[in-house]
Amino acid sequence: MGRGRVVAGLVSLLVLAVSGCKTTETGTPQPTGGVTGGPAAFAPLVYLAHDEDHEPGDASEFIRRSTLKWSHAEPCKDETIAVHPAEKDLATPGKFQARKANKDTCKPEGPVYTTTQATRPYSGDFGREGFFLTSDVDNNGEGGPDPVYLQDVPGDGENKGLTGHVYWFFYPWNESTVPGGGHGGNHEGDWERITVVTRGDQPVRVVYSQHDTKCAVDWADVEKQDGHPVVYAAEGSHGSYPKPGGYSIPKVPFPDHADRGKQWRTWEQVRAVEKQPWWGYGGGWGDVGAPIEIGELGKHQTGPAGPMPPEVRDMRPEVFRTAPCPAPLEPTATPGPAPTGQDQEPTAVSPEKYHHRVGSLDFYFFTSPDDQYSCAIVAEQALCQGGTKPVPPRPASCNPDITWGYGMSVGSDDKVDFICAGGIMYGPADRSPGPQDRLPSGKTLTTLGFTCAATGDSELRCTHDASGHGFRIAPDSNEKF
């Protein structure tokens, strides 16, 4: 990306051009897939982790490429019940039947079980039996737009008058990285979720689910984008968190880490879970292993239970949880403590390294680690210039002869704008930008009431410290907050 040198007159002219440019809202897309309006308006924006290898998928496609089996406790082997079962057959009472096995003879005995009963089996020495699906769906999901499944749960007792709108996320595969390398908690069919609790049509709080724990954040304190709650899905495990960072979960022998990677705009494909052909299935959604709380690192484990009708599984105890969510571990960029005897490298850089003066104007200039963005912090704003998408339509305040949307800014007046400017606004006056101007990945620059961070080689985040408003910019995505 070419950069010109900046002279004082050009800086003044372009600052005026930006200050007159207002943020234009692009509007909230209408969800598809069976649910529009109402609760779908609260469908979340999910951030997958930067290094996520196992993305969301379609539960129906998972079933179509599955084999239905009955898990037998050792020493008996699992029994194949149906190959590529029809979705509606899984939800049909009595369509598929199985019995436990006698451990001495391995012959079926005892009462008959069907797929519409809640059976979440374990194998090995744990002695539990039940139905499960094992699929050949690719671990990386089937591409987008991936559906989110909406289930409405009415409150009762002290929660009467409240409704929990559960947004179910389906991932074909779960694989959690453990310290020192390796993996833990690996399993097929990972169902994760959040719940937006409302009173009438007014949101009250969001309940986040991670492994076997649930925690809540008041709606006023929830991070949002265009009214949608923001969720951070932990790398590999997909646990749902309200903030990025590292987390340690009780009884789970590996840490979780969540950050701002790929965006999943779930409102683009919202499906009512009660209308799915498989609704009513009570078995497992993946091959059978150990319970996650047993937690031997690297051992294959059984996945969590999926959506079920209320007569099979009562969701209310978790849907209306009020226990507050824990803060992420410090520092948020690296979960877990520093190695023994070593100090963690500080993330903040000295502003003086990036200080420039042109005439009477003081500013701090830096570039992204890969030189894709030219950025500056001045007294009234922080901005980054470079290509990004999507960009909203050009506002009337931006002259048609001037470039629109080639960057973003946040001002001391809390306004977050796409940039309307005729060229690169800030830079060294006596040379071209060079390697010495790069803000290293993972580092932050704080000065003049703003903080900017290089959150990736081609990704930057700038915040007005007093208000918390700001922007994130990358070549294929951006956001205002």
H helices then E strands: how many in the chain?
4, 29
Q: Where are the domains of the chain?
A: 8-27+346-480, 42-332
- Specify the higher pLDDT residue, 1 or 362: 362
Which of the four pLDDT bands, split at 50, 70 and 90, describes residue 291?
low
Terminal C-alpha separation, the chain: 27
Which of the four pLDDT bands, split at 50, 70 and 90, describes residue 290?
low
Give the model's pLDDT for residue 383.
Answer: 97
The pTM score is 0.62
Give the model's pLDDT for residue 36.
Answer: 53
Average pLDDT of span 133-155: 79
Give the model's pLDDT for residue 422.
Answer: 83
pLDDT above 90 covers a percentage of the chain that reads: 48
Which of the four pLDDT bands, split at 50, 70 and 90, describes residue 150?
very high
DSSP notation for 177-236: E-TTS-EEEEEEEEEEEEEEEEETTEEEEEEEEETTEEEEEEGGGS-EETTEEEEEEPTT
By DSSP bridging, strand 97-101 and strand 79-83 are unpaired
Q: Among 203, 94, 222, 458, which residue's Cα sits nearest to residue 473?
A: 458
* 347-374 per-position pLDDT tens digit: 788 999 999 988 888 999 999 999 999 9
pLDDT above 70 covers a percentage of the chain that reads: 80
By DSSP bridging, strand 270-272 and strand 148-154 are parallel
Give the model's pLDDT for residue 25.
Answer: 27
Give the C-alpha separation, 298 to 145, whole Å.
Answer: 31
Give the model's pLDDT for residue 254.
Answer: 67
> Do the Cβ atoms of 81 and 92 come closer than 8 Å?
no
The chain-wide mean pLDDT, for the chain, equals: 81
Other beta carbons within 10 angstroms of residue 333's beta carbon come to: 19
- pLDDT of 329 higher than 70: yes
Q: How far is CA 155 from CA 161, 163, 191, in A?
A: 6, 6, 22
Q: In what order do the strands lie in the sheet with 162-177?
A: 213-218, 202-210, 183-199, 162-177, 148-154, 270-272
CA 245 centroid distance within chain: 12
User: Which residues, other chains included, contact 254 with Cβ-Cβ below 8 Å and sequence gap of 6+?
Assistant: 176, 177, 178, 179, 184, 185, 237, 297
Give the model's pLDDT for residue 92.
Answer: 96
Average pLDDT of span 94-117: 91
Give the C-alpha separation, 474 to 407, whole Å.
Answer: 9
- pLDDT of 294 higher than 60: no
* 441-457 per-position pLDDT tens digit: 889 999 999 999 998 88
* 222-263 per-position pLDDT tens digit: 999 888 999 999 988 899 999 998 887 765 666 788 898 889
**What region does 367 belong to: left with phi over 0, alpha with psi -120 to 50, or beta?**
beta
Q: How far is CA 185 from CA 175, 181, 251, 252, 382, in A?
A: 6, 13, 12, 9, 42
* 53-68 per-position pLDDT tens digit: 888 999 999 999 999 9
Q: Among 179, 296, 303, which residue's Cα sits nearest to residue 237?
A: 303
Give the C-alpha separation, 53 to 382, whole Å.
Answer: 33
Give the model's pLDDT for residue 139.
Answer: 58
